[in-house]
Structure 1
């Protein structure tokens, strides 16, 4: 049965793409469910980090179910119908893609949209659009070149070749490279470290980096001073400094 399942590990939400028979390919209902669960997590103050992974060890997601796309051709390029794959980049809650095996097409888009990528040794990324007559959309042209060198992005998008985990880590696309079967555990460790920190600061860092990307250095510099002034008056700042001086773990709100 194909679905998106969820589980809460303290303040870390794990979303699992469940369609192993088809390498965790997305049906249209699964895409909509992904969007619903991401938005619900964003609205839940108890969720401090989101981990997205694929069921089993052979695939994160192979992308859209192509038979479904042939039946409903408009699903392939409609920005609203594909919006859930881009949601992680727009959330204030940090997101981690725990990539096990294939991350192709829409699976690649989802990995690009996440803030971080933790890759198992068998992870593999591909943008096959040029090979099947479809333009690589959803950030593959607009976002990917900000994550890896433009020449490599161009290469991937027009050859459709696979980028293996070791290359992804070497060029900085993958934040962690771990043994096959260990991506979820490593992602949870990273997520818990994030969740233990001030959520206000964590969210502000993401917003600041997005400001840099979209508005440039001067706007990002203004953001630093304005947001820094705001956050230094918040309870988390008092708690963090007191905890440091008292040599104890902080207890952030």
Structure 2
């Protein structure tokens, strides 16, 4: 299960299991129902404290491999499940602290979009891809996800990524503004923590209000579609 640590002013949210390179129950850090519940609770902990800054990362081969197949298999529960995914995005987008994604490995689909929700993104150079494979899987993009990609990616990159499922390595992702920086894995967390540390002074209610205001239209599209 995901877990949260804090050292001085820096929170770190790990998407995998503590003490394991790969979570034995969810080795690809997919958006399983229990995983979503745990991440939501950890984000609430950060939001309630509203100090410092947050780095979101994982260990092993995956940052996150996206939606849990078992969760999307039941069409009667799909809308509710997608609402829960969108809720995670909205929470990251509006946290009252600065956020940095440290993309340690493959970030596919919903996991790729989670990385985009952070204020600043750093990706490793030598292994791992950022990709939106939905077109190859025959899956449309829900409104909330499409709006997230519209806001966070340049138009030409968004069109290619969404309509071809192309896989982008770290250096290419930085060149195309999918992420702000690409660094060697040995520097990944060091760099992410440094960026986060530069922004800790801005944490609090005003930062939360600024994020909600600047992302108002996106947040409306991420709002629950089910009652």
Give yes or no for TM over 0.5. yes
Alignment partner of 1:18 out of 6, 16, 19: 16
How far apart are 1:213 and its partner, in Å?
Answer: 5.5
Q: TM-score, normalised by structure 2?
A: 0.80
How far apart are 1:100 and its partner, in Å?
Answer: 1.0
Report the secondary structure of 1:30's partner residue.
helix
Structure 2: stretches of 5+ with no match in the other structure? 218-227
Match of 1:182? 187
Check if 1:145 corresponds to 2:150.
yes
Alignment of 1:1-253 (within 5 A): 3-18=1-16, 20=22, 22-45=27-50, 47-56=51-60, 58-70=61-73, 74-75=77-78, 78-82=81-85, 83-121=87-125, 122-137=127-142, 139-195=144-200, 197-199=201-203, 204=206, 207-208=209-210, 211-212=213-214, 214=216
Task: Sort the Cα spacing of 1:64 and 1:148 in 2 relative to 1 into closer, same or farther, 3 A.
Answer: closer
Report the secondary structure of 1:97's partner residue.
strand
How far apart are 1:204 and its partner, in Å?
Answer: 4.3
Task: Sort the Cα spacing of 1:35 and 1:72 in 2 relative to 1 into closer, same or farther, 3 A.
Answer: farther
Distance 1:137 1:193 in 2: 35
How far apart are 1:69 and its partner, in Å?
Answer: 3.5
Distance 2:35 2:141 in 1: 20
Task: Sort the Cα spacing of 1:62 and 1:120 in 2 relative to 1 into closer, same or farther, 3 A.
Answer: same
Task: Sort the Cα spacing of 1:124 and 1:137 in 2 relative to 1 into closer, same or farther, 3 A.
Answer: farther
Distance 2:120 2:196 in 1: 10
Report the secondary structure of 1:43's partner residue.
helix
Report the secondary structure of 2:38's partner residue.
helix
Is 2:97–2:202's contact at 8 Å kept on the other side of the alignment?
A: no
Structure 1: stretches of 5+ with no match in the other structure? 216-253
Distance 1:109 1:41 in 2: 20
Is 1:62–1:102's contact at 8 Å kept on the other side of the alignment?
A: yes
Superposition CA RMSD, Å: 2.6
Distance 2:143 2:94 in 1: 13
Deviation string for 1:131-189 (max 9, x for gaps)? 21222237542122333321220111111111221221112221221102432221111
Is 1:98–1:183's contact at 8 Å kept on the other side of the alignment?
A: yes
Distance 2:97 2:163 in 1: 32
Count residues with an aligned counterpart. 208
Distance 2:63 2:147 in 1: 22
Structure scoring higher RCO (CA < 8 A, sep ≥ 6) equals: 2
